[in-house]
Chain A
């Protein structure tokens, strides 16, 4: 059965696009058919993070408006052949997407993919509401930082009221993905802890992604961390989060200052 998952946050720059690309690649590595969809019309970046920026011919809006077929707009990843990208339009107005158009395209995607990951634009306006509108479940990306947590709380409220599922009186499954987490700073009381954020937002935890240099490297070369440097802590954390997303029970290895699961497994090399 096909699952449509929105990756959202309210605040910009917390890692929605990185997370969409990393989770999408991780899910597709297991042979699942995955499509990552960029909803950020006018400011598309998922294509760049996926390393497909020069292959975009038709985009989401072309398909939504009936100017191109879905098959023409889908970009198949060159490294993982069950991974596809539907890019946002870079030149069009952000109001060019209509609710009906989005509904039709999502419906078509459901027919061809096991997972459809919708990369939401920042904010709480039209684009963000459209990205969450037809989703079955949501990943709320947050940093352990006050403005991000506040905005996530706002987004959770919208997921519970503005989505089709919510309007139908159905349950909207929401999970937290805590990114850019620095265990050392959290332990020393400089940064909100995982428990603090969980208690404030009161939604279940999908994963904790530690702050990592590999993330920048991955976007520099256009290959999600789960594809290339999957040995990095961030890559491992995304791989595990993807397994949880797929329904596996994987204990959450909370990054710890003293001993992380990673250091336990790989010893000194982790330092």
Chain B
């Protein structure tokens, strides 16, 4: 047991952190890929919130996977005092060819 061995064993947390970051980067792809819909929802929330005050609960993102084409449906409810209409569809259900 050297003095250096003692020092080394003291800060093992950075090793743990690095090992986890590498491992999870692989596992997220291989095992339970974070759902594309979830990633999209998080990004959309951030984008919309930058411009309009709205309830995050009122954002609905759906994806229907079809054979040749999948559809992505985004629906956002915005309180009428924010835009002057009851419910605003930011865009009609968007056709997107998702892989």
A residues whose Cβ falls under 8 Å from a Cβ of B:
145-146, 149-150, 153-154, 156-158, 160-161, 166, 168-172, 186, 188-193, 196, 200
Contacts and interface: CB of A to CB of B under 8 A. Distances in A.
A196 B60 contact: no
B81 interface: no
Interface residues on B, range: 20 to 34
A9 to B, nearest CB: 15
A157 B63 CA distance: 17
Interface of B: 10-14, 16-17, 19-21, 23-24, 27-28, 31-35, 37-38, 41, 45, 56-57, 59-63, 73
A189 B7 CA distance: 10
B17 A196 contact: yes
A163 to B, nearest CB: 11
A171 B13 CA distance: 33
A192 B37 contact: no
Contacts of A168: 60, 62
A169 B62 contact: yes
B28 A153 contact: yes
A122 B1 CA distance: 39
Given A150-B24, A153-B27, A171 B35 contact: no
Given A150-B24, A200-B20, A200-B21, A157 B12 contact: no
